[in-house]
Structures are given as C-alpha cells and as structure tokens.
Structure 1
Amino acid sequence: MKNLELQKCILGPVYTNCYLLKNKETGELIIVDPADCPEKIEMKISLMNGKPVAILLTHGHFDHILAAQAVKEKYNIPIYACRQEEEMLREPSINMTVHYGQGCSIVPDVFLEDLDVIRLAGFSVQMIHTPGHTKGSCCYYLKDEGVLFSGDTVFYGSVGRTDFPGGSTAEIVRSLHKLVDSLPEETEVFPGHDASTTIGYEKRYNPFV
C-alpha cells in the first residue's frame, strides 16, 4: 500500500466491515460500505484527519447501506454503485431495510459499468461486476495499491450467501474465478465481513474455485 492508509469500522447487527481509504499525500478519503452508525464513521474520519470525497457501495443489502445517506449528506459527497444494483438500492423491500424499521432507499449519484475505472482521492479505482450474492454485487480494485474490496462476493476461504433474491451459486462461482484468474496473487482482499485474505490464498484453498 504505497499511498493508502486503510482503516476499518465493524458496524451494525451482523458486524459489517466499513472501510476508510485515505490518501496519505492528499488527505482525501473514500468510504466503502457505510454500514450503520454514521456517528462512528464520522468519528473515525475525524481521527484519521481525512477529507471524504466519495462513497463506494459493493451491493445494496441493508447491512452495507444504512448509513450511506447520512454520510453523503454530512460531507456532500457522491455515492457510486454498480448499474445492476439500481433496483435493490432503491427498493426497501428488496434491500431488506424495511425489516429494520428504516425503509432505506438509495439513489446513487454515479452508476458504474463492469471494469469502469474512476479516479477518486488520487487513486485509480476499478469496479469489477461480480454477481452471485446479488445481481449487482461488485468489487473495487486499486491496482496501484494492490488491494481489492470484495463486499460479500469473496470471504476468507468462502463466498457470500446466494439464497437471497437475485442470488445465484453458479454466478458467484463464475465471479470468484473472474477474480482469481485475473488479479495478481499478492492482491490483498478486504471482504464485507470477517478477516482479510489474498487472491493467492483463495486460488489455492477456496473450495468454490
């Protein structure tokens, strides 16, 4: 990680990883999956002395988006997501926020297509569409920093659930292969839950490969 200062908040009822990506040179900061508790995210940003410039959503499930709107409004920054996740983000009955009394509807400012590369906080960020957990699940790859934020597509030695609406075991296996067959083995993988891993480890030991 050349210019990346990476910190994590574990938030919400299912212990979701929210990542804060700060450029050491510029102080600009990206928020990946503002899961819950906007106050905790704001406190972490303050402690990092970062200047938020964008929110990246890996997918639209309740446990990854509950603080997104509050954080967006606090810092007046755009939300990015995969185009195929538009309906889930918009509809509380599909993203399951309605079951948590919040009825959260998110309308991203920017929809990305597979393999789009954007420049944020001084980083080159590539969105990789990895359906299977949801139709619009995606990962964000910072090639120059050697890191991938995999949401609920890839976990340490496993993959995300496929029994929710829009899920598909066949698709998530294809998505896993898409990642391990194309990214360098030394790439560090930071998932939406639990511990980090590497592409090399998953290529060798993930039973879904």
Structure 2
Amino acid sequence: MRIFPLTAPVFAATCYVVAADDGSCVVVDPGGGVAAAVARTVAEHGLQVAGVLATHGHADHVWDAGRVAGAAGVPLRLHARDAYRLDDPVGTLGDGAAGVAGGLLAALEALGTGTAWEPAAVEVFGAGDSPRTADEELLLGGVRLVARHAPGHTEGSTLYLLEAAGERIAFTGDVLFAGTVGRTDLPGGDAAAMALTLREVVAALPPRTHVLPGHGPASRVDVELAHNPYLAG
C-alpha cells in the first residue's frame, strides 16, 4: 500500500491517492485544482481509480470530485448527511459573497478553473435517523477502508480508517488536525457533536494510528492525545 498526498491550490486542502498492491487506488478529498495532479500521479504509477471519497461536503474537499470521479467512471462516495451540500458546495458554507465562501470563490477565480461546480455521480452511505451511524466497510478495488461517522465539523463528517502492513491510518478530513481540530461555527457545525466525536471516536482510536488530516502536517493519535489542547487530559 502506498499513499500519495497532494496539496490542492485552493485552501491548501490535502488530497490523498491511496494505492493498493494490485494497482487500484482510491482518491480521498479531491479539492479545488487538484484533478491534474491526481491524473499525473495515477499515470506515473500505473494506477486505476477504483473509488473517490469525501470526508465531508465542503467545497475545498470536493471541488474537483466531478472531474476525478468522472474521468474514472466511478461515483463520489460520502456520508448521506453531507450529500445535500453537493447541490451547492460553496453556498452551503453559508457566507454568501463574504468570509469563507467568498475566499473560496476568489481562490477558484485566481486559479483560473472557473467557479462553476461540476457535480459528480454520488453514492451515499450511513443513511439512518440515529445521531451517529454505524461503521461501514468499503472495498474499492484492492483498498479496504472503514467509514466511521464523526459529526461536528459537518453533520456527515467521516473518518476513513485503513490498515496496511501492520500500520493503522486515519484520514480525518477537518475533524482532527495536528495540534487542533476543525471549526464548528459554519452551517451544520455542532460544538457538542464535535466534543462527543473527539471523546468517543478520535480518542478511542489505537494510540499509534497515523493521522492524515485534510489540511496541514500528519500526526499520530498518541501525539494528539498528549499535546492537542482539545484532546489532552
């Protein structure tokens, strides 16, 4: 198993290409402007995209999902509770022409890719009425992951958990970063839900699990439990 991190030009969101030994791969969080880098990585390593995943539905994590998933002929998969965001990934940020949404639109314009959303075919998981849905196992080509609902940053925020060569890896999106956690003040965010996620989902991961977040450097669960002020103690 190999993992290739790619930084999207828009908001420096990290996209991950997760490659199995059989040459299949999964793309996690294809954000704004990263489609060309994904295509180069796939071509250079002789890979075939078997799946595209989003940790949540914010535009900086899904903007190139239509391009990446469409080129591969596969759907974008994400939690059912964030599926509505794909109708308007910028508008559901809630700021209109200011704040986060305005900054994202400006970044897209500066990139020259345009601000017209190219939707992807979508397949959802985690449907249900309970506040926190059960784990779901995803087998995409040779990549086997567990999708674990982790609401708080958004209603459908999800951790994707992977075991490979004795290592445990968590793709945490905007739930957990090195030294901090995701914000909860955007529409759909919930501070109480985030606190529960940190306590019952993140802190319960095996301590030596590698954390691959949606922005910034990688970390490890035991490091975050010891030093992250939102988790320590």
Is 1:35 aligned to residue 35 of structure 2?
no
Is 1:118 aligned to residue 138 of structure 2?
yes
- The equivalent residue for 1:94 is 92
Counterpart code for 2:208: E
Structure 2 counterpart SS, 1:86: helix
Conserved in 2, the CA contact under 8 Å of 1:130 and 1:138? Answer: yes
Is 1:26 aligned to residue 22 of structure 2?
yes
State the TM-score, normalizing by the size of structure 1: 0.90
Range that drifts further, 82-91 or 134-143: 82-91
For structure 1, the 5+ residue unaligned runs are none
CA gap 1:69/1:34 in 2 versus in 1, 3 angstroms: same
Range that drifts further, 91-100 or 140-149: 91-100
For structure 2, the 5+ residue unaligned runs are 106-114, 127-132
Q: How far has the Cα of 1:47 moved from its partner? A: 1.6
- The equivalent residue for 2:111 is none
Q: How far has the Cα of 1:118 moved from its partner? A: 1.6
Partners of 2:192 and 2:224 lie apart in 1 by 17
- The equivalent residue for 1:140 is 160
- The equivalent residue for 2:224 is 202
CA gap 1:71/1:135 in 2 versus in 1, 3 angstroms: same
CA gap 1:22/1:50 in 2 versus in 1, 3 angstroms: same
Task: Report Cα offsets for 1:27-58 as digits up to 9, x if no partner.
Answer: 10000001122122111211222111000100
Conserved in 1, the CA contact under 8 Å of 2:65 and 2:119? Answer: no
Conserved in 1, the CA contact under 8 Å of 2:57 and 2:85? Answer: yes
Structure 2 counterpart SS, 1:165: coil
- The equivalent residue for 1:179 is 201
Q: How far has the Cα of 1:119 moved from its partner? A: 1.3
How many pairs are equivalent? 205
Range that drifts further, 120-129 or 184-193: 120-129
Is 1:84 aligned to residue 98 of structure 2?
no
Structure 2 counterpart SS, 1:190: strand
Conserved in 1, the CA contact under 8 Å of 2:14 and 2:214? Answer: yes
Range that drifts further, 174-183 or 88-97: 88-97
Runs of 4 or more, structure 1, over 4 Å off, are 95-99, 104-107
State the TM-score, normalizing by the size of structure 2: 0.81
Partners of 1:178 and 1:46 lie apart in 2 by 40
CA gap 1:104/1:74 in 2 versus in 1, 3 angstroms: closer
Task: Report Cα offsets for 1:155-194 as digits up to 9, x if no partner.
Answer: 0011011111011222212111223432111110100000
Counterpart code for 2:222: G
Task: Report Cα offsets for 1:128-166 as digits up to 9, x if no partner.
Answer: 111111111111001344100000000001101111101
Partners of 1:46 and 1:107 lie apart in 2 by 23
- The equivalent residue for 1:6 is 3
Counterpart code for 1:18: C
Q: How far has the Cα of 1:115 moved from its partner? A: 0.6
CA gap 1:36/1:86 in 2 versus in 1, 3 angstroms: same
Counterpart code for 2:27: I
Counterpart code for 2:146: Q
* Higher radius of gyration, 1 or 2: 2
